[in-house]
Structure 1
Amino acid sequence: MLRGGEREVVHKVLMHAGAATLALGAALPALAQEKFPAELAGQAMLPAMTLVQPPADAPAALAVSGKFTLPGQRIDAVGTVAGTSFLSDKTAPRPTGLSLPFAGQPVQGFSGIETLKDGTFRVITDNGFGAKANSADAMLMVHTLRPDWASGVLSRLSTTFLADPDRKLPFVIVNEGTETRYLTGADLDIESVQQIGEDLWFGEEFGPYLLRTDRAGKVTGFFQTEVDGKVVHSPDHLAVATPAVPGKVSFEIRRSRGFEGMAASPDGRFLYPLLEGPLWIDATQTWETKDGKEVLRILEFDVQKQAWSGRSWKYALEANGNNIGDFNMIDGETGLIIERDNGEGEAAQACPAEPKPECFNIPARFKRVYKIDLSQADGEGVVKKIGYIDLLDIDDPKGLAHQGGHDGKLTFPFVTIENVDIVDADHIIVGNDNNLPYSTGRAIGRNDDNEMILLKVSDFLKAR
């Protein structure tokens, strides 16, 4: 989900869209990593407007979601607040065709995927509507999906709702006074998931935290984040409070830059949560960089010891301001990381002069999956980027695309692409977060569906 912090960045880009586009375009040819081909092997969609009903024992307030999306207002009437793209210019809002609030809980955008090795995949619903303040009626959910690549249908097989009945979380939650204590997007922002044994582990963005639950979604463990032996905080960390008078608030991670991706070692011994933004370095009063590029920490959590190991690596962004979308391991040393810009829509439909509702004012220009090698880190711990595939240049020689394909190609021009995992020795799966009802990357005026694509990338997966 495009968060409040990301929207602030986007608004700045909107003010200087032409200059930013030229700068990015000029930077692209200088990138040195090898580009590998990607061929479409399948595409499946779950319609954007897919809702589930809360459990019977959930508070009545959760029967309708999205009541708090207008700042400073509460809107209870279903379908009365029109959705517009996060990336719209304020002078030319681009409608998505859907309206809030919703009668039910939207399955909506997926952030974090895990291959279950039987043709199904575990995914998590993003925290709700983009921020703590507007997601108090959005339930935290985990789903099992089955794509039918031939028909293009992405089916939801099951849904699990997260809850904290045993009061493992050390802070007040929205449903504190209930017996079941279902969790919402105002409590936590889960962004990645891994199953180890009978436990589910979640990388969380608000704290950032690690969360452990059982298979039924009941919280069984909670861990604050440590880097170099010290607890680190975002502005939404439980220990951070707004001061009574103007002054410095101490935190080391930007809002909405906590754990976005989280991989696991093949043996289940370690988790590798990856921060979405760089750390603040007090000594230099700057964000952590290498050769001018922001670097993101990959941390190591020892599952057996239930503690941070103290080891970490660094992932260097290709352009400052880019974001990562997901992280999963291929084997014990190499992994897949999505790196993307904050644009949506094909460049061919970009606004030529000024923003208009019928064109993309910030088109997608950088959407990649990188292959990294933890064992080939440099002396400062920066991992090697072996190569990448370009999600804006997918070959479709067999015409397998069910939507978005043309001239033997498919693009994946979504602002938030937050799912990637290996399927087998030749294929990976990639999916978007459709930010319901705030993204229109596939078609003007229509909210994006939840899309999954299967990509044949044999050479990419073999590369060293």
Structure 2
Amino acid sequence: MRKPVLGLIIACGVTAALIGSGSASSAATPQGAAAAESDPNRAELTGFARLPAESFVPGSEPSGSALGTEPINGVRPPFAHQPIQGFSGVIRNRDGSFDALSDNGFGAKANSADFQLRIHRIAPRFSTGLIQVRGGLTLSDPKGFVHFPLTRADRVLTGADFDPESIVRAPDGTYWIGEEFGPYLLHFDRAGRLLQRPIPVPGVKTKNSPDLVPGETPNLGNSKGLESLAISPDGSKLYPMLEGPVTGDDPQHLRLYEFDRRDAAFTGRRWTYRMEAPGLAAADLVAVDENRFVAIERDNLQGDAAAVKKIYLVDTTDQDAEGQVDKSEVVDLLNIANPHGLGVPGETFRFPFFTIEAVVVLGDRTLGVLNDNNFPMDAARTPGSADANEFITVRLPERLTSRR
């Protein structure tokens, strides 16, 4: 059995992280302050930190061999080590750090066989504008619970085996991860070792599902599986949500399920989340209380072209006859007041990334949001330059608990 890789992880290119990074100690600009005061309904940027694009796990194995050798957004593959990238889910720790989940690696099953699936422990330092990486866990299946052949003989899990996209931690310290290829729910211990057979979403399969039988037609789009996964405040229930619609469903409707941890089974309860338009995606879901969640909704555009990057408050007790839940906008991530000049210059801060896939509730009026930089594919901040991983905090115009 290969042991999880623990200990300090360093980020390459720290000097670059200081360029253009602001902190809460920066002097507020009169224009920015005026803009924030003129629109009390706009969220405010309160923290910004970044991890440079070319950040790698030291001493780790090579990766990116299937990407060719031509530069991609200024970065030339393959890589000598495993990149620290693709933050698609986040969990808050008591010591101020966060557990951040990387996705399947380089965006596809075919090119990610040498990317090891991993949970990174990160610590944003908003005073310096840097994200520290303190260690992490490599995911594995030493007891052979996976029911199909794995890429590696040592049963370390790779991006060709699973596409992990969402994560929660149960009261017992174990991790539950939502996955897209199946889609499956995956249950890991504190050391990142799989604890049981992957649990499929009832009646749903993608073209990448190992469970497809010959002649069977998949009914969920590629990369549209369990992008979102929330856990109830008491830890008894999980709430996985698909990123895209199931064949035959309304193209604006996403299925939100309930899963009972004690029974290790889906309960049969289901809600409908309605996107603002067909073609959008729901990218994360986090519980606020027993019945309400915050959810990210986004388009598939980046940079100046990005048009829809929003966070909504979702209420499962307020639904119509078809089970469609009520939602209300709490943050427009493309229109955040920036009175302290954090991150990038300007009175308005935009979070214009193709994939924004992680949100965490930090307080009744504060959310943390992270992007998935799809290293080295995305270039939202600067065309032709691979995106960093960014971690921002925003102050909401009103309390989550006051919204009904």
TM, length-normalised to structure 1: 0.76
Does the 8 Å CA contact 2:113/2:151 hold for their aligned counterparts?
Answer: yes
- Please state if 1:255 is matched with 2:213: no
1:54 offset after TM fit, Å?
A: 5.9
Does the 8 Å CA contact 1:425/1:458 hold for their aligned counterparts?
Answer: no
For these two proteins, the number of residue pairs brought into alignment is 363
Does the 8 Å CA contact 2:184/2:201 hold for their aligned counterparts?
Answer: no
Residue 68 of structure 1, aligned match among 59, 66, 69: 66
Does the 8 Å CA contact 1:36/1:389 hold for their aligned counterparts?
Answer: no
1:239 offset after TM fit, Å?
A: 1.8
Aligned-partner residue type, residue 360 of structure 2? D
Residue 367 of structure 1, aligned match among 296, 309, 313: 309
Q: Which residue does 2:105 correspond to in 1? A: 128
Alpha-carbon distance between aligned partners in 2 of 1:340 and 1:119, rounded to the nearest angstrom: 28
1:460 offset after TM fit, Å?
A: 5.2
SS at match of 2:76: strand
Aligned-partner residue type, residue 219 of structure 2? E
Q: Which residue does 1:237 correspond to in 2? A: 209
1:346-383 per-position Cα deviation (integer Å, ceiling 9, x unaligned):
2xxxxxxxxxxxxxxxx101110111101112111111
Q: Which residue does 1:215 correspond to in 2? A: 190
Alpha-carbon distance between aligned partners in 1 of 2:283 and 2:95, rounded to the nearest angstrom: 24
| Displaced runs of 4 or more, over 2 A | 222-227
Alpha-carbon distance between aligned partners in 1 of 2:135 and 2:322, rounded to the nearest angstrom: 44
Alpha-carbon distance between aligned partners in 1 of 2:41 and 2:253, rounded to the nearest angstrom: 24
The equivalences for 1:50-449 within 5 A come to 50-53=55-58, 63-69=61-67, 75=68, 80-83=69-72, 96-175=73-152, 177-178=153-154, 181-196=155-170, 197-227=172-202, 231-240=203-212, 243=214, 249-281=216-248, 288-289=249-250, 294-346=252-304, 363-399=305-341, 401-402=342-343, 404-406=344-346, 408-449=347-388
Aligned-partner residue type, residue 44 of structure 2? E
The equivalences for 1:36-47 within 5 A come to 36-47=41-52
1:37 offset after TM fit, Å?
A: 1.9
Q: Which residue does 2:31 correspond to in 1? A: none
Alpha-carbon distance between aligned partners in 1 of 2:127 and 2:89, rounded to the nearest angstrom: 24
Aligned-partner residue type, residue 295 of structure 2? I
SS at match of 1:64: coil
1:216 offset after TM fit, Å?
A: 0.4
Alpha-carbon distance between aligned partners in 2 of 1:422 and 1:273, rounded to the nearest angstrom: 17
1:52 offset after TM fit, Å?
A: 0.6
1:261-314 per-position Cα deviation (integer Å, ceiling 9, x unaligned):
101101000000110111123xxxxxx11xxx5200111110011111111111
Aligned-partner residue type, residue 330 of structure 1? V
Does the 8 Å CA contact 1:112/1:124 hold for their aligned counterparts?
Answer: yes
Alpha-carbon distance between aligned partners in 2 of 1:240 and 1:460, rounded to the nearest angstrom: 45
Of the structure 1 ranges 231-240 and 160-169, higher mean CA displacement relative to structure 2 is found in 231-240
Question: Which sections of structure 1, spanning at least 5 residues, go unmatched?
Answer: 1-34, 56-62, 70-74, 84-95, 282-287, 347-362
SS at match of 1:414: coil
SS at match of 2:254: strand
Does the 8 Å CA contact 2:183/2:201 hold for their aligned counterparts?
Answer: no
SS at match of 1:68: helix
Aligned-partner residue type, residue 250 of structure 1? T
Question: Which sections of structure 2, spanning at least 5 residues, go unmatched?
Answer: 1-39
Alpha-carbon distance between aligned partners in 1 of 2:114 and 2:393, rounded to the nearest angstrom: 33
Aligned-partner residue type, residue 329 of structure 2? G
CA RMSD, aligned part only?
Answer: 1.5
Alpha-carbon distance between aligned partners in 2 of 1:307 and 1:458, rounded to the nearest angstrom: 38
Provide closer, same or farther for how the CA distance between residues 279 and 333 of structure 1 changes in structure 2, counting only shifts above 3 A: same
TM, length-normalised to structure 2: 0.87
Does the 8 Å CA contact 2:145/2:198 hold for their aligned counterparts?
Answer: no
Provide closer, same or farther for how the CA distance between residues 295 and 182 of structure 1 changes in structure 2, counting only shifts above 3 A: same
Percent of matched pairs sharing the same residue: 39
Alpha-carbon distance between aligned partners in 1 of 2:149 and 2:200, rounded to the nearest angstrom: 19
Q: Which residue does 2:32 correspond to in 1? A: none
